[in-house]
Structures are given as C-alpha cells and as structure tokens.
Structure 1
Amino acid sequence: MENISHESKQNHNHKDQDHCCHDNSTHHSNGHEHEGHSHEQGNKKMIGILVVSALIYGTAMIMDGRIADSIVIILYLMATALSGYSTFLRGIRNLFKLKFNIDTLMTIALVGAISIGEWKEATLVAILFGLNELLEGLGMEKAKRSMETLLKIAPKEATKVDDIGQEIVVPIASLQIGDRVIVKPGEQIPSDGIVVSGRSSVNEAAITGESLPVEKKEGESVLGGSLNNDGLLHIRIDKAYKNSSLAKILHLVQEAQATKTPTELFINKFAKYYTPFIMAVAGLVILIPPLLLQGSWNEWLYQGLAVLIVGCPCALILSSPIAIVAGITRSARNGILIKGGAYLELLGKIDTLAFDKTGTLTKGEPHVEQTIVYDEQRLYAVAGAIEKSSTHPLAKAIMKEISRIGASIKDADDVKAISGRGIVATVEGIKYWVGNEQSMSHLTLSDPVLSAINELKDAGLTLVLVADEKEVLGMFGITDEIRAESKAVIAELHRTGIRHTVMLTGDHRLTAEKVAKAVGVSDYYGGLLPEDKVAKIKELAKQGVVGMIGDGINDAPALASAQLGIAMGKGTDSAIETADIVLMQDHLGKLPSAVKVARQVNRIIRFNIGVAMGLKLLALLLTIPGWLTLWVAILSDMGATIFVTLVSLTILIQKKP
C-alpha cells in the first residue's frame, strides 16, 4: 500500500486519462464554459439521433408484414446506421489495429446479427447501446457538473480604486498585488487580501465549507471568492487571482478529477485482458456446439453474438470513476480539498492517524490555565505593568488573563529582558522579577512555593513567576489551549473505524500526556524533533495505512513521509503545496466527514464491481441452456451500467446537519 501511495504521489498530476468506455462519454470537463457547452451540444445531438432511430425502428416493427420485406429491412438498417455508425467506425478502426475493446465487441455483434438476418435485434442492439453510451456520459457529467456551484462563485470583476481615488470596474485577472478594491454588501471578494478599512461579516462557505459567517475588521485577512454580507470593505489585494485560495482549489479539484486510483488502474488493466477473453469465449460458444454436439450454426452464432454483448465491461469500467469524481466533488463543497482519486481511496483505507499537537489539536495560542496568588493586590498590577509591552506569546497570555479579571495595570520603568529567563523592571520604585523559576535565583523559595511549582509542572504547565526582592507574589500556569472540537473529533474518528490515533509533539512529555488524555488519542509521543516525527511515522506505517495531520508548515517532513499527508489552516500556500488533502478550515471539525465520504466511496466501488461482474456471470450462465438472447444481453449490459452510475451518484447526496 505504501508503494501505491508513493507512486500515486509522484503521478497525481498525470492527466492522460484513458477513455472509460466510449470516446464521447468521458471527456474531462475542466470548468471552462465552452467545454460545458460542447458537452451539452453533444448530448443533445445524441438524444436527437436516438429519438429519430427509435421512431424509424417503431415504424419498421409496425409495418413488418404489411409492406415489402426489403423496405422493412431498409428501415431497420437506417435506424441501425443512425444510432450505431460512430460505434461501428471506431470498432472497424480498432479491428484493423488489433485493438479489442467495447467498440470492437459491439461492431462484431452488429455485423454478426445482420449477417444472420436478425435485423430487428441488430437495430435494438445499436439503439440501446447508443442509449447506454449517452447515459454513461450523462452520469459522468452529472458528477463533474456538481462542481458548478463552486465554479460559479468565482468572481469575474472587481471595483478597483485608482491612484486618484476613482472607482473603476476591472476584470479580476487584471488585479495586481497592492491594488485596493471596494467590496460592497452582497458582492464577492475578488482575491485574497487584507481589510484596510471597514467591518463586515463574510461568508467563507465556498472556501472552507463553514456555513456561519466570519466577522472581519481592519487588519484581518479575507479569501477570494468569499461573500461580503453586510458592510462596506476596502481591501488591499495580497495575491493575483490566479494565486488565490479559490483559484488553487478550482485548479486542484479539476486536476484531481483527471487522476486514476489504484483500483481504476487495476480495472483498466483487467479489462484489457478481459475483452479478448470474452471474444474467445464467444468463439467457443459459436464453434463447439455445432462441431461437437450437432447444434445449429445459426442458433449458436446468435448465442455467441449475445455473449459478446454481455461481455462488454462498461459497467465494470464505470464502477469506479463516477464514484471517485462524486467523492472529490462532495468533499470540495465541504471545504476539504483532495488532490486526487488515489488520495481519496487511501483516506477510505486509513487505520492510523497521527496528529501534530500545536495548532492542530490545540489552538497554538498559550492561555493561563491556573493562577496561584500570594499577593493579589500587587500580582496582577505588576505583571500587567511589565508584560503589557512584550510581544512574547506567554506575555500575551498573561495580559489576556489580566484583562479577563479586569485588574488595573500600572507602568513599569527600566525594563530589561534576561534571555531565556524573564524580565526585570521597576514599578513605583520597587524592583520586580517576572519569569521562570531560574530567574528567581535571588530568592530562597519556601516549601509551599516549591510545592506549588512542582504541582503546576507535574500538570504539564509552563510557569511564569512574579516576585519582588523578598518574596514570590504569585505564579501563572500557562498551557496551549486545547481546541474545543478536538475531543469530539477524535471520538468520532474512532467510531468511523480509525483504530489508532497518535499525537506527536516536540513538547515535554508531561505536557503531551495532559493533552493526550484530554482529547482521547490512543497514544502520544513527546519531546520529538522533526526527524523523530518522520521516524515515528515510518514506524507506524509498518502496521497499517498512516495519515499525518499538521498545519502544513513546520510539519512538512512528517506530512511528506506519511502515506497520506493532511494539512489544515484555511488554505495557506504551504498547506496546499505540502499535503495530499487540505482541510480549508482552521479546525479538525470536518475531518470525520472526509473519512466517512472516502469510506462510502470505497464501499460503493466494491459494490459496483460485484454487481457488474455478478450480472454478467448470471447472463453468461443463460448460454448453457441456450436461453441467452440479444435482447437479454443488451438489457443486462445497459441495466448494469445505469445501476452502477446511479449508485455512484448517491455519494453527492448530502444530508443537511
């Protein structure tokens, strides 16, 4: 499995997709409007041809016995030629090239039926095969066209503010980095940028799959393609549209639809040998009964032609691609970017998920979890005075806590930072120390203080002490805040069949243990360097299919070494480029649904293959008593194809939460 994964990673951009069943049923739509129109026109033309053919066929059946046989035969031949000419031409070309595929089988069957005078059946074969071909194309197009909801939200124009302050409407392709645009209520944000002025709620559902709007104000980033709900926003463009999050999503989803999964590659390889095998079986059905069992040549030639039609591997070949495209599309609509069918298939087989801690299971933002106070009057005032000008994450956490309790803050003088230890400053003429326990070397710590320090450290907290020249005023126990959804997500993943969840972190073992217990992962490993994470991923991969989830920046080596790399974080460039799957949200909430969809896709593919092969085997068994007819053959082939197509499209059905 690891080999398959790595091979698919190397080839996920490969676009040279083999035709599924028929040349005109599986052209790839890449989102461009003119391609959509060409598909629509092709389908309309095919429908027109089939309607005319069916009318001629009906007329011939009604007039049979009432007019000259030669006219009835001409009518049947006209209907056959109209609906079957494209198949016949492709089949003849393939025969000359000794290329044996579905078109070759159908051409031989048509010629054979006509040669033994089965005009009515030959015409029905041509019409139903044409209908089959049309339905295959419509099924695949339905799966691909479901992406239109995403494609339609791509903005076309933007209101740009020029150097002299005038507003001009320009195509989004002309926007440059640094340009300023105005986005009015109800308009789409043209590209990724920063809010320069204004305040509004923004709907980012097209990008992240999140239905709830997000409040945006000055200085905050916005994503191209998201919808401005109610306020006027002035935005500075940070990326040209072609490099925006939305453009990358559209491009990667379209590329993903062109890739082949290991299952598809196997089916195509199987079909390559299966078709000549069916031709050989048909030959034996035609020859053995007349030669060895005194059977009628006409009867067994008819049976052999029916075997050819039953043997068409249409349903088998379509059992996978429509399901894969539907799965990728549904995930994209939920803000889950899957870069190829191979990764979707692998996600459905995954049994071990490894998580980075910081920024993935936790918010990556320190917060004060526990405070021990010895001098309440001075602790918050002094800590606030010294920390308010600091940009250190721990200082920000302390300031957030002081703000929460509403303590007053004084001013500090002579502030000096001691690298790796803390800060020394003067507040109202008194010297104070703020930092870790090493920065308190001027004090002899009492037993109660030492006991409190050890208690907080055992709880996996990072300590910040506040002291004057004589005593400790109090201490803050700080930790990285666990994401609210992490515990529920891990539990849901276990319910979906992920047997092993592992947390990998560079943090201290006690901190790792605390977070691991809180979120409910199966195992955890602390104190890991980046290369240690890679080694641990490789070790886990020996026991099953492993996915690694991180933020796509500092976890790049581990993401790359896992069989499946999953990044999160609203589509940052590094996340999109590093991982095989990107959660466009900044949380793990959508991960279980991605796994469920992937497992559903794999289940449906297995079911489709079973149905396709089962129906063919059942029809072929009818040749033993001589009950197989061309009518039964074409109906079983078409029925299997329609069935697997409809079953695959059920993946697009999404229950509202």
Structure 2
Amino acid sequence: MTATLPAAAPPRCAASSPEMLRFRVAGMDCADCARSVERVVAALPGVDTARVNFGAATLTVVPGAGVALPVADIAATVARAGYHAVAETGMQRGVQITAPPWWRDDRLRWVLLAVALWVSGIVLSYTGYEATFVTALFAAAIALGGWPFARAGWQSALAKRLDMNVLMTVSALGAALLGEWGEGAAVVVLFALGGALQARTLERTRGAIRGLMALSPATASRVDETGGETLVPVAALAIGDVIRVRPGERIAADGVVIDGISAVDQSAITGESIPADKAPGDECFAGTVNGPGALLV
C-alpha cells in the first residue's frame, strides 16, 4: 500500500531535524491563546518560524540559519505570556501525560477560591454588611480570577495583538474604575471559571490524541524499487513510499494495501471489536495491529 502520514498527528518534522525545538505548552484554552504564543515567540531574535498546534498543545520553533536558540529563553517568553512550556526530548515524544485531578489543578483551585469570594460578597451585600468589606471581597475575587488572562492580555498587547484576554482585562479595569465591583467580579469570575473548565476538557481531549499518536511505531520497513528493505523513522516516510508490515506488527502509517491479505485489529481507532479483513485496495490506519498475514503498504 502507498504510505501517507496520519492526518491527526502534529507535524513530525521536529523529530527528523535536530535544529528544530519542540515544546509542550500548558494553559492554552483558546485559538487566540495559541496565536499569541506564536507571535511572541516568533518575535524573539534568531527565530525563523514558530508554529503552535493548538489541538496537541505543542510549540515547534525553527531557528534561523546557524542560530542556536536557548531553550530557557523560549520557555521564559512563553511564561511571560501566561503559559508554561516544557521542551520535549526524543524519548518524551509520544508519551501520554495525564491531567492532574481537579483538586491538584492550581489554576482551578485559584478560580474556585475566587468563586467563593464572589459568592460571599453577594450574600453579604444582601444582608446589609459593611460595604467596604464587601468591596474588598469583590476586589479579591477579581484579582484571583483575573490575573491569568490579565498577564496573557499584557503580552498580547506588547505583541500588538487584540485578543479576548485584552478585552477581558479592559472590561475588568473599567468596572473597577466605575466602582461597579460586583459586576466586574461577576464577569471575571464567570469567565475564569469557564476558561478553567474548558482547559481541563481540552487537556483530556489532548490526552486522547496523544494516546492515539503513541500507538504508531517509531520506525517502518521501507521497501525500495528493487525489493530491498530499509528501517527508517516514520518521520522520514513520504507520500508514495511502500512499507512492509509483518504479522503482529503495528502499521506505521496510513495507507492502502497493494499486496498481501491479512486481518487488522483496528479497535483502537474505529472501535470495531472484530479484526477487519484487508486485501489489495483496502485502507489501513497507523497504529493498528496487523494479523497473521504480511502486507505491503
């Protein structure tokens, strides 16, 4: 079969080129966040290209010719934008990272504390409690719930990009200047809570994607025009290459069978409990397990 790379996987070129740097980025919960990270990193001296895969939460940095970029500088730049970047090594790629339980999620804990302060302020305001104390509760809720997107908004403003973090920061400051502490706290807390819950949902989705990506083997047996086989990294495969899949091996890339008959376990991809019969002309998926027959892909 003719090999093609999996459509769902993020670009693998970072693995084939030692000059490229790849990071996992935590805290991105919107496409604007990803674009902000791209922009601030791309503005660094010596950076040729910066690309963020929002679905996989990865950052790929291509330095300029002959430039050695310090990993710490890139991580620090991402941190100033309000996110956390960790450089990947070759052994870490494909390793699934499980999101911590909610009670260990620092961001969610701060947001829940902000919610508690906001709700306390509302309750006390209706009981005639001292206005100064109620205002202090609302102000604390704004500070705790709003500092992540305020920091991200500041970096977006420095990068001359107007995103929702900038708009939320302006709205919170405007409410405070007008003395509408309760309304400002409500906007900030609800926005922060929604963002924190969305981030946890995205991290679970990303974990599932990484789990599927980890099923794909790191190498493949590429067959040349003379029938000879060469063991190559999956990242080195190109459209039109032919690979051999022996019985019991995982298929290294999406493709179409050109020779051989077998049954392939596709349960991890399609959910089918029974192996699917494969013959010339049938499609196969990367990460699925070949059965008793040998295939040319």
Q: Which has the higher helix share?
A: 1
Q: Which has the larger radius of gyration?
A: 1
Question: With structure 1 as the length reference, what TM-score do the two structures score?
Answer: 0.23
Question: With structure 2 as the length reference, what TM-score do the two structures score?
Answer: 0.46
Task: Select the structure with the greater relative contact order (CA < 8 A; seq sep ≥ 6).
Answer: 2
